[in-house]
Structure 1
Amino acid sequence: MRLGRSDLPWPDLLDIALAVGSFGLFTLPVLLRGSGHGPTAAILVLGTAAAVPLAARRAVPVPVLVTVSLVLAVAALADVGFTVFHSNAGPALGIAVLTAADRLPRQVSLRASVAAVGLVTTAELTAMQLHPATGQNAIQLVLAIPAWLVGYAFGTRRQAERRLRAETADRARETERRVRAEERVRVSADVHDIVSHTLSMIAVRSGVARVVLEQRPEEALAALSAIETASRSALDELRAVLHSLRDAPGDPLGTAGALTAGPAVDRPTLAHIRSLVDNLRDDGFPITLTLSETAGAPPPVEESAYRVVQEALTNVVRHAGRVTTSVEVTSGPDGLSISVLNAAPVAGPYGAGPGSGHGLAGMRDRVALHEGTVTADPCPDGGYAVRVQFPLRSTSRTTHADRSEGKRRG
C-alpha cells in the first residue's frame, strides 16, 4: 500500500523538513544567485546529495554520516562550493555527527564520527594545496566536535529516560503481582477459615445430636437446626468472599459466578465477634469475651481480626474441647490487639479431630498483609495462647485493601 505524506510518522516528517530546509537555506541561494564554485550541475547534485540523506538520519545514522562525509570530501577535492560559505560549511556534517552520537553507543559513534571528520578534514587540507585561490578551510572539524558532544548528551538523557520508564513499568508489574498474590492469600485464608470453622461446628453439633437423639430428641432437633443455620451462614460468607473475584478483569465466572449470584453479604467486623462467641456458648463452650464498644480499625483490619478470632476458636473446638477460653480484643495507641487463651485440653466425645496445621500459617499470612505480628505458643499449664498485634497505622498494603473494600461495598 502506498503511503501518503500524512501517513508518515512525525519523526520522519521532521527529518524531511530538516533535509528540505538544509537544501533551501544553504544550496538554493547559490543556485539562484549563481555565486557558487564549479558547474551548476555539480552544485545541484552535490548539494542535493548532502541534504537528502538527512531525511533518514535517525533510521540509518552511520550510512547517512558516511554519505555526507563522502559528498563533502568529493566537493572539496573537486573545488565545488554548493553552500553560501567557504568549504561547504553547511549543517549537514554537524547534523549527521550529532545524530550518530545521539542514536549509537558511545564507542561506535565516536569511531564513526572520527573517521568521517578525519576524511573530510583530510580532503579539505588537500584541497587547500590543490586550489589555494578558493580559500578553503577546515571549519568542519570545528563544527563536528560540539555537534558530537551535544548529540551524546541527548542520547544519554534519552537512555536514562528509557531506563526510568522500564524500571517504572517493572515496579508496576511487580506491584500488580504482589497485589494479586496478596488477594489470593486473603481469599484462600477466608475460605479456609469459613470452611474449617463451619465443619468443626457441624462435627460438634452432629455429635451432640447423635448422642441425645433417642433420650432427648428435642435437643437433637435443636442441634440439627443449628447445623442448618451454620451451613447457610457459611454459604453466605463464601458468597461474600467470592463476590470480590467476580468483578476481576479477565476472571471467568464459571462456578464462582454461580456461587456469587444474589446480594452481597457484608464483610465481618469486630462486632461480629460477639455473635461468633455467642454461638459457641450456645453449644456449651465456656468462653469469656472482652471487647470494648470503642474498639475499631480500618475495615480490612477488622475483617482480619474477626478471621483470627474465628480460626483461634476453631482450633480450641478441634483440639481442646469444652475448656475455659478467654477472648480479648482491645485497641490503643499501638494498634489493635487480640488475645485468645484456652485451658489444657480435656477428653471428651465432641472433638472435631486433628487439624492440618494450615490454620496458623494462614493466620500469619493474613496478619502479615497488615504488617502485624502473631505469637502462638503453649502455656505452662498445658493450654494454648494466640496473641496478635495489628499496627496503628496501616501500610500501603492495607491502603490497597481499603480501596478494594470500598469497591466491594460500592
Structure 2
Amino acid sequence: MRLRRTVLPSPDLLDIALAFGSFGLFTLPVLIRGSGHSPTAAIVVLGLAATVPLSVRRRAPVPVLATVSLVLVGAALADVGFTVFHSNAGPALGIAVLTVADRLPRAVSLRASVAAVGLVTVAEVTAMQVHPATGQNAIQLVLAVPAWLVGYAFHTRRQAERRLRSETQERAREAERRVRAEERVRVSADVHDIVSHTLSMIAVRSGVARMVLEQRPEEALAALSAIETASRGALDELRAVLQSLRDAPGDPLRTAGALAAGPAVERPTLAHLRSLVGNLRDDGYPITLALSEKAGAPPPVEESAYRVVQEALTNVVRHAGRVATSVEVAGDPEGLSISVLNAAPAGGSPGAGPGSGHGLTGMRDRVALYEGTVAAGPCPDGGYAVRVHFPARPVNRTAPADRAEGKRRG
C-alpha cells in the first residue's frame, strides 16, 4: 500500500483565502441584501481595500496595518458601512494587529498597534458626533487589544522555539567537540602504546641479535624473526587505529580505503594478554599472569584494559629491566580490576631512565573515558605498582570508533 504524503498549502495561499473569506463573510452579505444608505461602489471599494491587503500580511505587516486603519478611518468619517456590523467591525483590523504583534518585536508592534488603533478610535468617536444616526461605536479598540495579546503570545512561542533549536544545535556541536576530543585522546593513547611497546621490544631483541650474531646465529635469527613479527603486528594495529578515523559506512572513500588496507584487524581483548605476556617471557622477562575467568567487560573496556597492561609492561621493560613482574586481572560485581607490580631492579635501573610521563598521562586519560581510576607509584620495597579499576556500571561515553562499530554490527 502506497502512503500519500500530505502537502500543506503555503502561507501565502492561506492568507489569500483569509482575505477573500473575510470579504465574503462580512462585506458580501451587505451587497446581497442591499447597500442601505451607503453607495454600492463605496462598499465594494472599501471592503476590498480593507481585506485584500491581508493576503500579504506576513510580508508587510506594518503597511497592511496602516492600510486597514486608513480604510476604517475613511469609512467612519464618510459614514460608509461595508460590513454587517456597526462601525465596520470585522476581522481586518484584528488580524492586522495580530500579525504585527506576531512578526515584530514587542516595542515596535506595540507602538504601531497603539498608533493605528488610536487613529481609528479617534475617527470613530468623531464620526459619532458627525453622524449620530448611524449608530457607530468604538468597538475596534476592544477587538484590537485581545488580537495584540494573541499575536504577542505567538511571537513569544516562536522565539522560545527558536532559542530551543539554537540551544539544541549548540549542545550537538558541543557533543561533537567532546566526541572529537575523546577520539583524539583514544587515538593518541593507542598510537603511543603501540609504538612505545613495539619499539621497546625491537630495541631489546635487536640488542640480543647483535650480541649473539657471531656465537649463536640461530638465536640471532630468532630475534630478527621476532622483530619482523612485532613490526608487522604493530603496523596492523596502527592500520586498525587509523581505519577507525575514517568516515561513516557508505562513503566511497572509506570503502576504497578499506579495500586497499586489506582485512580488518581484530581489536585486542583481555584474551590477548596471554600472547602479550608470552612474547615477553620468550625474551627472558619473568612475568606471571593471573587472568580470572570472571574477568570480562564490554569490548571497548577490554581493549582499554589491554592497552593499560601493555603500557605498564612497556614501562617495566624500559625502566626496570628483567625483574619479577606480576599481572593480575580480576572481575567482580564492582567492575574490572588490573594490577601490574614489578620488583625493584637490582643494582639500579638498567633501562632508559626516568620517562616523560606521557605513558601514565595517556593511561589516565584512557581510563577516565570510562569513569575509571588509576593509581601508579613506587612501592616501599623499591618496585613499582600500577592499579586500575574500571567500574561495572554502564559505560556512557564510549569512543566514537566503538560507537560506529556498534552501529555497523547492529
**TM-score (structure 1 length as normaliser):** 0.91
Give deviations 1:299-321, integer Å, cap 9, x for gaps. 00000000111111111111111
Maintained 8 Å contact 1:36/1:80:
no
Give deviations 1:25-74, integer Å, cap 9, x for gaps. 11122223333542222222211111111112122212211111111111
Change (3 A) 1:407 1:147: closer
Maintained 8 Å contact 2:327/2:339:
yes
Change (3 A) 1:205 1:400: closer
Maintained 8 Å contact 2:320/2:349:
no
1:330 aligned counterpart, secondary structure: strand
Change (3 A) 1:266 1:407: farther
Give 2:382's aligned residue: 382
Shift of 1:344: 2.1
Aligned pairs for 1:223-238 (under 5 A) are 223-238=223-238
Maintained 8 Å contact 1:194/1:234:
yes
Q: Which runs of 5+ in 1 are unaligned?
A: 1-7
Matched, 1:18 2:15: no
Maintained 8 Å contact 2:376/2:387:
yes
Higher mean C-alpha displacement, 170-179 vs 12-21: 170-179
Shift of 1:228: 0.8
Matched, 1:138 2:138: yes
Give 1:38's aligned residue: 38
Give deviations 1:154-176, integer Å, cap 9, x for gaps. 22222212211221122122212
Maintained 8 Å contact 2:97/2:144:
yes
Shift of 1:401: 6.0
Maintained 8 Å contact 1:204/1:352:
no
Maintained 8 Å contact 1:98/1:151:
yes
Instruction: Write the letter of the residue equivalent to 2:90.
Output: G
Maintained 8 Å contact 1:321/1:347:
no
Distance across 2 between alignment mates of 1:45 and 1:282: 103
Instruction: Write the letter of the residue equivalent to 1:134.
Output: T
Give 1:172's aligned residue: 172
Q: How many matched pairs? A: 403
Aligned pairs for 1:313-324 (under 5 A) are 313-324=313-324
Higher mean C-alpha displacement, 256-265 vs 34-43: 256-265
Higher mean C-alpha displacement, 36-45 vs 289-298: 36-45
Give 1:195's aligned residue: 195
1:341 aligned counterpart, secondary structure: strand
Aligned pairs for 1:201-350 (under 5 A) are 201-248=201-248, 257=257, 261-346=261-346
Shift of 1:87: 0.5
Give 1:95's aligned residue: 95
Maintained 8 Å contact 1:204/1:351:
no
Maintained 8 Å contact 2:294/2:332:
no
Distance across 1 between alignment mates of 2:371 and 2:36: 78
Give 2:64's aligned residue: 64
Instruction: Write the letter of the residue equivalent to 2:262.
Output: G
1:192 aligned counterpart, secondary structure: helix
Change (3 A) 1:176 1:152: same
Distance across 2 between alignment mates of 1:252 and 1:230: 32
Give 1:147's aligned residue: 147
Change (3 A) 1:349 1:154: closer
Shift of 1:143: 0.8
Maintained 8 Å contact 2:312/2:340:
yes
Maintained 8 Å contact 1:374/1:386:
yes
Distance across 1 between alignment mates of 2:346 and 2:227: 24
Give 2:3's aligned residue: none
Distance across 2 between alignment mates of 1:253 and 1:320: 45
Higher mean C-alpha displacement, 259-268 vs 317-326: 259-268
Give aligned-pair identity as a percent. Answer: 86
Q: Which runs of 5+ in 2 are unaligned?
A: 1-7
Instruction: Write the letter of the residue equivalent to 1:225.
Output: S
**TM-score (structure 2 length as normaliser):** 0.91
Aligned pairs for 1:350-361 (under 5 A) are 351=351, 355-361=355-361
Instruction: Write the letter of the residue equivalent to 1:264.
Output: A
Maintained 8 Å contact 2:198/2:231:
yes
Distance across 1 between alignment mates of 2:349 and 2:203: 11
Maintained 8 Å contact 1:298/1:402:
no
Give 1:125's aligned residue: 125
Shift of 1:108: 1.8
Change (3 A) 1:348 1:229: farther
Change (3 A) 1:143 1:94: same
Instruction: Write the letter of the residue equivalent to 1:281.
Output: R
Shift of 1:347: 5.7
Distance across 1 between alignment mates of 2:402 and 2:257: 23
Distance across 1 between alignment mates of 2:401 and 2:330: 22
Maintained 8 Å contact 1:79/1:127:
yes
Maintained 8 Å contact 1:321/1:346:
no
Maintained 8 Å contact 1:338/1:389:
yes
Distance across 2 between alignment mates of 1:10 and 1:408: 40
Maintained 8 Å contact 2:183/2:400:
no
2:245 aligned counterpart, secondary structure: helix
Distance across 2 between alignment mates of 1:402 and 1:249: 13
Maintained 8 Å contact 1:323/1:345:
yes
Maintained 8 Å contact 2:340/2:387:
yes
Give 1:369's aligned residue: 369
Maintained 8 Å contact 1:240/1:265:
yes
Aligned pairs for 1:391-406 (under 5 A) are 391-398=391-398, 402-406=402-406
Shift of 1:243: 2.3
Give deviations 1:113-154, integer Å, cap 9, x for gaps. 111111111110000000001110111111111111111222
Change (3 A) 1:157 1:72: same
Higher mean C-alpha displacement, 25-34 vs 67-76: 25-34
2:261 aligned counterpart, secondary structure: coil
Distance across 1 between alignment mates of 2:399 and 2:359: 25
